[in-house]
Every structure is written in C-alpha cells, then in structure tokens.
Amino acid sequence: METMDVAVLGATGTVGQKFITLLEGHPYFRVRELVASPQSAGKPYAQVCKWKQDRPVPEEIANMVVKSTEDELESALLFSGLDSQVAGEVERAYAEQGHLVVSNSKNHRMDPDVPLVIPEINHDHLALIEGQPYAGAIVTNPNCSTIFLAMALAPLHRAFGLEAVSVTTLQAISGAGYPGVPGMDIMGNVVPYIGGEEEKLETESLKILGELQEGRIVPAPLSVSAQCTRVPVIDGHTETISVKLSRPAGLDQVRQVLDEFRGAPQQRQLPSAPQRPILVLDAPDRPQPARDIWLEHGMATIVGRLRECAVLDYRMVVLGHNTVRGAAGASILNAETMVSEGYIVDGRLVKQPARSGQKQVVGSCC
C-alpha cells in the first residue's frame, strides 16, 4: 500500500514521543503533522519537546513545526497520546471533522460505541465504528496494565472459561508520564495506589473479553479483583495473576494454550505484530523488566512462574513493555489491523468495509 500521512496528537508527551520512534520508517504510515498544546504551537518540535527516548529525535521530526489542537489537520489518521484532561473533547472534535482517531487515552474506552481493541483478541469489535455518530471514528486501545492482563487471560478464557481473576500490578514509573513520580516518593519505595488503575483493569478487561452481539458488547461473565502499585522500575509493568477456570485443565494444558496463542496480526503478518504474542518462560526467576521487556521488540506479553494456586486454580507472573505494547505500539497495531480489515483503503476511512455491506467512504480529509 502507499504510505499514508498521519498526525500525532500529544506529540511532546511520553506516549507521543514513543509514537514518533515507532513510526520512523513504518511501511504503512508517515508522520506529517505534530500536534501539542497551544503553548507549543508554531515552534519547531525539537525546541518545545523534552525528548526522553533512547535515540535522537528524527531529523525530519525535529524541524517540523508543531500545530495546536485547535488547528485543522490534513492527515486522515490521527494517533492520540493526549493527556486525559483534554483528550475527550479534542478526539471527539477531530472525529466529527472526519478523521480516524486511534487513541491511547482513556476517555472514550468505555463508550458503548467505541471499540476497545487488542487485535489478537477482539479485532471483530472494530465493527462498532459503523454505528458511531461521527463523520470519522474513534478506536481505542486499553490501559497499559489491562493489555497484558487481557492477553494472558484471553487464551484461557477461550479454552477453559474463567470464573474469577485476582491481579496485583507492579507498574513502572514511565507509566506516570514525565516528570512522573517525584524521586523521594518512589526511590526505595512501593506506592500502593495509582488513581483509577484498579477500576480500569476490572472493567476494561471484561469489555475486551466480551462478545459483539447485535452492535453492542456483552461483557465477559467473570469477576476481576485488582490491586495496583507503583515501583521504582523505569519501563516494564509486572503483574502477579491468579485465575479460577470454569472447566478443569492440567498445568501442561494451560501452558500449551498460552504458548500456542496466535491472532489476526500474526496470521496477517502485520508490521508491528510480534511473531509470538505470548512468550512462556520456564526459568524460575523470570520474567524480569531489566531483561525481558524488549523480547519481540517490546510487543509481546511475557508469562513466567506458571504454577498451581492454593486458592484459585493457577497463578503466573506476567510482564510487558508499558510504553510500547502497553501504549503507542498498541495503537499502531490497531491501525495496521484496520488496514487489513478494510477500514482504511487508499488513505481513506471506510466505515463499512465491503465484507459488511456497501462501502461508505467518509470525511473529506480522509
């Protein structure tokens, strides 16, 4: 396909910067517009961005003049890393103008007509955009911790059913953005509270694992109990998970189901898709953030310490890169999936692909 021009919303923030690094040289998408707050508008990106990535700002990006969220955009596809304080209204406005907004922000995740997508699990939920009232559309990916929880649960839910889940997260400080958590609060410490995180894990996972029925999502019928903590790790969210299965299964069966899990991104060999979306490690002291988050280029969910649980049925330790698969990488993979599903054709948004009826090309900007 011909490379498509895209814009990054919230381009100066942590997730916006990760979008820029992951989109450099992408075969489908090319960054043509950068959007940030009005205070940054009209200035070169390198001048207003406190760059915190492990490689330099791409030269063509560094010299690009930043636009405001109040500006009209030419790009059809917008990747949003906007702060939640402004994302809801801004994303809705752009969708009303005919843009496709693929968002990492929390604001629209639980809207009944907005798909909350992990392509390996529920790419069929993209059909929700056909009923959205906008000239364009909004598609979201889950919270950074929810993604790894749902990835670990989905194969088990399909194979054996799930009744109950208990999860405790150990979340990296990069998940708080920049400047994030003050050093004196986090160094040598564990903070046992992250506002709103537990609710996201307990509700978003049910929507993701739910079924699309007659244009709405029926949440998965299971209970999730979450506790969230912030730990002094730079990148990589760790989760300890215990599950109660609906049907009996042996440990070897559980391991095999996790290890063999694949989805649409792997079948279609999408550019950002990990070859193995779930990696099961057998070493007794893995996974570890310092050693394992870059497996599969940061796009995999790493499972270790899989064993029986004395309270529920099985327990495990799960790890994922929170700013790659847990944020920007998830949005990019969602957009790639929309290309493969026919929702993006020749740089245009198609709200009703041929597979579901007559094509409806929408939005003059698209």
Please, what are the domains in the chain? 4-142+326-356 (3.40.50.720), 144-321 (3.30.360.10)
pLDDT band for position 355 (50/70/90)?
A: low
**How many Cβ atoms sit within 10 Å of the Cβ of residue 154?**
26
Question: Does the annotation mark 144 as catalytic?
Answer: yes
> Active site includes 125?
no
At 276, the pLDDT band (50, 70, 90 cuts) reads very high
pTM greater than the 0.75 cutoff: yes
Give the residue-averaged pLDDT of 276-302: 98
Three-state DSSP at 7 gives strand
Mean confidence (pLDDT) of the chain: 95
**Mean pLDDT in residue range 80-102:** 96
pLDDT band at 238 (very low <50, low <70, confident <90, very high): very high
Mean pLDDT is lowest, of 17-26, 74-83, 177-186, 357-366, for 357-366
What pLDDT, on a 0 to 100 scale, did the predictor assign at position 365? Answer: 40
* pLDDT of amino acid 354: 66
Distance CA 238, CA 3 (A): 36
Average pLDDT over residues 280-299: 97
Strand 29-36 to 4-9 pairing: parallel
Q: How far apart are CA 179 and CA 336, in angstroms?
A: 31
State the average pLDDT over residues 100-116: 98
User: pLDDT tens digit string along 298-347?
Assistant: 999 999 999 999 999 999 999 999 999 999 999 999 999 999 999 999 88
Quote the percentage of the chain above a pLDDT of 90: 92
> Which among 144, 228, 365, 366 is annotated as catalytic?
144
**353 — pLDDT class (breaks 50, 70, 90):** confident
What is the pLDDT, as a whole number, of residue 360? 42
Please say if the pLDDT value at position 1 is more than 80: no
- Answer positive or negative: Cα dihedral of 245, 250, 253, 255: positive
**How far is 65 from 40, CA to CA, in rounded Å?**
9
Q: How far apart are CA 237 and CA 198, in angstroms?
A: 14
Q: Regarding predicted confidence, which is higher, 155 or 38?
A: 155
- Predicted confidence at residue 347, as pLDDT, reads 86
Q: Is the pLDDT of residue 253 over 90?
A: yes
> Does the structure show a pLDDT above 60 at 45?
yes
pLDDT for 41 beyond 90: yes
Which member of 108, 123, 125, 237 is catalytic?
A: 237
Q: What is the pLDDT of residue 297?
A: 97
Strand partners, 315: 242, 307
pLDDT tens per residue across span 53-90: 999 999 999 999 999 999 999 999 999 999 999 999 99
- Start-end of H helices in the chain: 14-23, 45-48, 59-62, 84-96, 119-122, 144-160, 183-186, 197-208, 251-259, 264-267, 289-292, 329-341
Model pLDDT for residues 154-167, shown as the tens digit of each residue: 999 999 999 999 99
pLDDT tens per residue, range 167-223: 999 999 999 988 889 999 999 999 999 999 999 999 999 999 999 999 999 999 999
Residue 150 has pLDDT above 60, yes or no: yes
